[in-house]
Amino acid sequence: MSEWSAIVLAGGIGSRLRPLTSNIPKPLVPVANKPMIDYNLELLRNAGITGKIAIITRYMREEIIQYFKDNDHFNDLDIVLPVFDPLDTADAVRKAANYIDTENFIVSMADIVTNIPLQDFMAFHVEKGGIASITLKDVAHPRAFGVIMLNQGSRILLFLEKPIPQELSLATLTFSKKETIRFQSNLVNTGIYAFKHDVLEILESLDDLMDFGKDVFPYLAREYGIYGYARRDYYWMDAGNPQTYLYTNWDVLRRWAFPYFPRATSEENNVWINHNHPSLPSGSIIDPPAAFGNDITIGNNTRIKSQTVIGDRVTIGDNCEIEASVIWDDVIIEDNVKIKNSVICNGVLITTGSQLNEGTVIGPNFTSSEALISEKNQTFVKN
Amino acid sequence: MLKEIERLTKGGRITAFSNTELTPELSALLGGAMGTLLDPNAVVMIGRDYRRDTRMLKRSFSGGLLSAGIELIDLHGIPTSILQFAVRRYGADAGVMLTRSHNLAGMVSIKLFEATGIEFESSQVAKIVNIAKSGELRRVAAPDVGWISVADAMKVYDRALAGFFASSKESMKEANLRVVVDCACGPASRIMPDLLSEFGCQVITLNAHRPRNPLFLPNPSSLVRLREMVRAIGADLGIALDAEARHAIIIDSQGRIRTAEETASVNLHSRYDPRSNATVVIGSSVHPSVYHDLHKNIIFSGHGEPGGIGRAVLEHRAIYGFNDTGLFVLPVFSPGSDAIVASFTVLSQMAKSHLKSTDIYRNHQVFAQRTAEVTFPIEKMFEFFKSVLNEQPQDFRVIDTFIGIKLITNENEWIHLHLATEDNTLQIEVYDPKENLDRQTELIALARNLVDTFLQNRSSSLARWEN
């Protein structure tokens, strides 16, 4: 029996990330030219997970299954793709119980990018001996996630999923005189968990427990004792909406997620290239860091400014300026176009003279017959 | 005053007549004693029902706690079930609830809860009483006197319950169920009608006011009124809560008053996979037909210790606990009995199955071994139940089933006397684990004798009064 196995939850719809998830499931949304789920699987590989890795799919299941058929870069892992329809996160684990034959296992979300020292977390889980351990991170606005209070021994005293103000108020009052750590520093659950195999029996007998955040952890914290892994020194980002998606791309380019990098066959001076370097005609410049896919054509006097990601089969015209943006595959950008802090999905045509300002998101296959001048944070989708 | 203290504990709880036995001074002393027992850094949640005397006693009890340096979170008027929920979910060190008795005028209970949300055992209550008797209280210096903060636990409970039943919300909205709910003039009136509306129910609410003179609800007359209301408007369900929202009596769509055991059975069977290896805690005098088909580990819990069912559920990691007094403990949601959750489970079951409540309950009907009916004036029925509860006939332990009373022997034989389907009729049900017909006849005769004695005493005292 292998020591650890894993369940990767990849069934989410990614509705907050729309229109990026209109045509592809969220786990396959590329971050720096690499699907998000790849970051997750690389994390598990680096942690030495040798048991089964069950990837639980639901929304656009066929696309994810096809992705693993078409790509062989995880052939060294024992990946299984069971087909069932989970009702929620904990229900997914309950239904995947047959794939877990190890004493401990990891559960992770397929839509986060992190370089958490997973082996260290696994050792923490074994040392504490609780039925579950949760990875935690500081964030600025905990109400958007969940709030956790720990004691000095890292035991979780309180677990609140997306609390309303009255809940925060009650929790603050009850813990006002307790020796807790870091409640004020906004610890949240980051979506990577370690469990003892025994938790599967609990999930089996209590089928009211559907969601980890809302049901399972509050219950386990009260009845069994669970632990929080609250190291500060790692990178974690939930690319849950277009803005944080953009940040995640920048962060990977800035090497904040080290040792997880953009998809590339080579890298030089923080420019990641996949197989063939784009030709740079006279007057064109690339400011690192940046990442490039295959078959990219760049016009004259075009500047690719730092923190830009460009996918496969992208054509960029003359006199363009692209700054801190993410451009997916099969995109045509005509001449004299300026793009700043924007996301452009597959199959888009940006006509001559367009100006895409900060926060612009162009959904898949969008085309316009005339120059597009966007307001800040404007979204365009194909009708 | 100290002499009175011993008399305050009944059935493992602090229970006494307010303002005669349990005075504000004594309440403050007991608060100080509880504060002394707790850690100086403890935070305690405190609540009450809507009676005037519980408000008074809560204030003095709070004063005692504060004098021992305890921080208080005042939840004001709140159902006991929600206080228990809040204590556990938000990490308080203890909880205190002041409520009136269901059946004795002027009687008040001070219920104390651990950090788990489960009621203190009688031994813990005895410790507090002993501290109060000894007078050795921890009195802190003025700067360390505790502070009272006010919080709204109803709102967080509302959100938690809506989340817990989120998967039933759409089907309940589509079902558009018509529900009559009697809130027993308790704090649940602030939350139950709104919650039902939020789930798409058409709600008629009874007893949502705060009467100057306390009413003892539910009682046979109030249940008959509720039944008539259900029949009159063709409601899908009637729900009679007690003032603490720990007990619920359900009236089905045909106006049949369902026992707590039947409602517990609906809850249990609708929620869990009978094939699983989970544990269930069941009151020892529950009719075996409720659990005979369960292939579960069953733990029996007797009556007597406060919080007995909840504690057994916690200790055995059970998935559910219930008894025949109408306590329903679903630990995934709350550590104590929660009648709101039990009622919503029935409603969600109706909505998901598209069945009438009568049809759902048909599969959970409890049939006694022997039954009998006696004519009994409805307006005297509650008085009869109270008198038997107070007198506690020899060889029997008497419990309040909220539709009547149950007399239980040490051999676990029982007599259940309760409101019958017909008005002005009392139903007698008996059960003998040995299935001895003679004994069953004997138990029926005993019940008839109790009824006759009560009615004769009443008519003779009435005659004396008239003369």
Question: How far does A95 lie from chain B, in Å, by closest CA?
Answer: 14
The chain A residues in contact with chain B (CB within 8 A) are 87, 149, 157-158, 164, 166-167, 169-171, 173-178, 201, 204-210, 214-215, 218-219, 222-223
User: What span, in angstroms and rounded, lies between the C-alpha atoms of A214 and A211?
Assistant: 5
Position A141 scores a pLDDT of 59
Tell me whether domains A1-115+235-258 and A271-383 share a fold.
no
Provide, as residue numbers in chain B, all residues whose Cβ is less than 8 Å from the Cβ of A158: 90-91
Confidence of residue A1 (pLDDT cuts 50, 70, 90): very low
Confidence of residue A225 (pLDDT cuts 50, 70, 90): confident
Q: What is the mean pLDDT of residues A129-145?
A: 77
User: What span, in angstroms and rounded, lies between the C-alpha atoms of A18 and A382?
Assistant: 12
Q: B108 with B249, same domain?
A: no
Q: B406 with B428, same domain?
A: yes
Contact B149 A173 (CB under 8 A): yes
Name the domain boundary from B310, B342, B362: B362
- Helical packing angle, B260-271 and B339-353, nearest 10°: 60
Contact B149 A210 (CB under 8 A): no
Q: What is the mean pLDDT of residues A60-64?
A: 88
Q: B246 with B318, same domain?
A: yes
pLDDT of A115 higher than 70: yes
Q: pLDDT tens across B224-243, in order?
A: 999 999 999 999 999 999 99
User: From the list B149, B164, B276, which residue is nearest A204 (CB)?
Assistant: B276
Contact B151 A170 (CB under 8 A): yes
The first and second tokens of residue A362, run together, are 């162009």
Q: What is the mean pLDDT of residues A239-247?
A: 89
User: What span, in angstroms and rounded, lies between the C-alpha atoms of A145 and A228?
Assistant: 15
User: What span, in angstroms and rounded, lies between the C-alpha atoms of A350 and A367?
Assistant: 7
Between residues A195 and A274, the one the model is more confident about: A195
Is the peptide bond preceding residue A289 cis, with omega within 30 degrees of 0? yes
pLDDT of A184 higher than 60: no
Q: Which of B249, B428, B436 is nearest to B327 (CA)?
A: B249
Q: pLDDT tens across B268-278, in order?
A: 887 766 666 77
Please say whether the beta carbons of B397 and B458 come within 8 A.
no
User: From the list B91, B167, B332, which residue is nearest A158 (CB)?
Assistant: B91
Contact B88 A222 (CB under 8 A): yes
CATH number at residue B257: 3.40.120.10
Name the domain boundary from B362, B392, B407: B362
Q: B348 with B448, same domain?
A: no
Task: Count the Cβ atoms, other than its own, within 10 Å of residue A62.
Answer: 9
Q: B137 with B182, same domain?
A: no
Q: Would residue B166 count as lying in a domain?
A: no
Provide, as residue numbers in chain A, all residues whose Cβ is less than 8 Å from the Cβ of B71: 173, 176-177
How many residues are recorded in chain A?
383
Degrees, nearest 5: CA angle B162-B149-A164: 30
- Residue A18 phi/psi, 5° resolution? -60, 145
Please say whether the beta carbons of A101 and A1 come within 8 A.
yes
pLDDT of B13 higher than 90: no
Provide, as residue numbers in chain A, all residues whose Cβ is less than 8 Å from the Cβ of B168: none
Q: Would residue B168 count as lying in a domain?
A: no
Distance from the first to the final alpha carbon of chain B: 41
Confidence of residue A239 (pLDDT cuts 50, 70, 90): confident
Position B296 scores a pLDDT of 67
Q: What is the mean pLDDT of residues A317-321?
A: 92
Minimum mean pLDDT among A128-137, B29-38, B204-213, B327-336: which range?
Answer: B204-213
pLDDT of B200 higher than 90: yes
- One-letter amino acid at B401 equals T
Between residues B170 and B462, the one the model is more confident about: B170
Q: B341 with B438, same domain?
A: no
Name the domain boundary from B362, B392, B420: B362
Q: Would residue B170 count as lying in a domain?
A: no
Provide, as residue numbers in chain A, all residues whose Cβ is less than 8 Å from the Cβ of B330: 208
Q: pLDDT tens across B246-256, in order?
A: 999 999 999 99
pLDDT of A63 higher than 80: yes
Q: Which of B85, B107, B135, B91 is nearest to B11 (CA)?
A: B107
The first and second tokens of residue B11, run together, are 């059935």
Contact B277 A209 (CB under 8 A): no
Q: pLDDT tens across A66-92, in order?
A: 998 888 888 888 888 998 888 888 888
User: Rg (Cα) of chain A, in Å, rounded?
Assistant: 22
Q: B287 with B308, same domain?
A: yes
Q: Would residue B415 count as lying in a domain?
A: yes
User: What span, in angstroms and rounded, lies between the C-alpha atoms of B420 and B369?
Assistant: 16
pLDDT of B421 higher than 60: yes
Q: B111 with B248, same domain?
A: no
Position B456 scores a pLDDT of 87
Q: Left, alpha or beta for B424 (phi > 0: left; psi -120 to 50: alpha)? A: left
User: Taking the alpha carbons of A188, A193, A198, A201 in that order, is the dihedral positive or negative?
Assistant: positive
**For the residues of B349-377, what is the DSSP string, one character each?**
HHHHHT--HHHHHHTT----SEEEEEE--
pLDDT of B121 higher than 60: yes
Q: Would residue B160 count as lying in a domain?
A: no
Position A326 scores a pLDDT of 94
- Percentage of chain A lying above the pLDDT 90 cut: 36
| Mean pLDDT taken over chain A | 86
Position A89 scores a pLDDT of 86
What topology does CATH give the domain A271-383? UDP N-Acetylglucosamine Acyltransferase; domain 1 (2.160.10)
ipTM above 0.85, yes or no: no
Strand, coil or helix: B458 = helix
Q: Where are the beta strands (DSSP E) in B192-233?
A: 202-206
Q: B257 with B345, same domain?
A: yes
Q: Would residue B158 count as lying in a domain?
A: no
Q: B197 with B105, same domain?
A: no
Position B268 scores a pLDDT of 85
Which residues of chain B from 45 to 104 reach within 8 Å of chain A, CB to CB? 45, 71, 73, 86, 88-93
Q: pLDDT tens across A267-280, in order?
A: 788 888 888 777 77
Contact B88 A210 (CB under 8 A): no
Q: B348 with B440, same domain?
A: no
Minimum mean pLDDT among A44-48, B288-292, B374-378: which range?
Answer: B288-292
Chain A CA closest to residue B146: A177
Query: Structurally, how many domains does chain B consist of?
Result: 3
Position A268 scores a pLDDT of 84
Q: pLDDT tens across B393-411, in order?
A: 888 889 889 899 999 998 8
pLDDT of A185 higher than 50: no
Position B404 scores a pLDDT of 93
pLDDT of B349 higher than 50: yes
Q: Which of A51, A63, A74, A73 is nearest to A11 (CA)?
A: A63
State which residues form the domain around B265.
175-362
Mutate to test the interface with B, among A150, A214, A222 (most CBs of B within 10 A): A222
Provide, as residue numbers in chain B, all residues whose Cβ is less than 8 Å from the Cβ of A201: 277
Q: B355 with B235, same domain?
A: yes
Q: What is the mean pLDDT of residues A282-289?
A: 86
Please say whether the beta carbons of A138 and A186 come within 8 A.
yes
| Mean pLDDT taken over chain B | 89
Position B239 scores a pLDDT of 97
Domain ranges of chain A: 1-115+235-258, 271-383
Q: Would residue B163 count as lying in a domain?
A: no
Q: Would residue B374 count as lying in a domain?
A: yes
Q: What is the mean pLDDT of residues A34-52?
A: 92
SS (H, E, C) chain A: CCCEEEEEEECCCCHHHCCCCCCCCHHHCEECCEEHHHHHHHHHHHCCCCCEEEEEEECEHHHHHHHHHHCCCCCCCEEECCCCCCCCHHHHHHHCHHHCCCCEEEEEECCEEECCCHHHHHHHHHHHCCCEEEEEEECCCHHHCEEEEEECCCEEEEEEECCCHHHHHHHHHHCCCCCEECCCCCEEEEEEEEEECCHHHHHHHCCCCCCHHHHHHHHHHHHCCEEEECCCCCCEEECCCHHHHHHHHHHHHCCCCCCCCCCCCEEECCEEECCCCCECCCCCEECCCEEECCCCEECCCCEECCCEEECCCCEECCCCEEECCEECCCCEECCCCEEECCEECCCCEECCCCEECCCCEECCCCECCCCCECCCCCEECCC
Position A38 scores a pLDDT of 94
Q: Which helix (H) or strand (E) holds B466?
A: helix B437-466
Provide, as residue numbers in chain A, all residues whose Cβ is less than 8 Å from the Cβ of B164: 208, 215
CATH number at residue B426: 3.30.310.50
User: What span, in angstroms and rounded, lies between the C-alpha atoms of B101 and B98?
Assistant: 10
Which residues of chain B from 235 to 254 reach within 8 Å of chain A, CB to CB? none
Range A1-115+235-258: architecture per CATH: Alpha-Beta Complex (3.90)
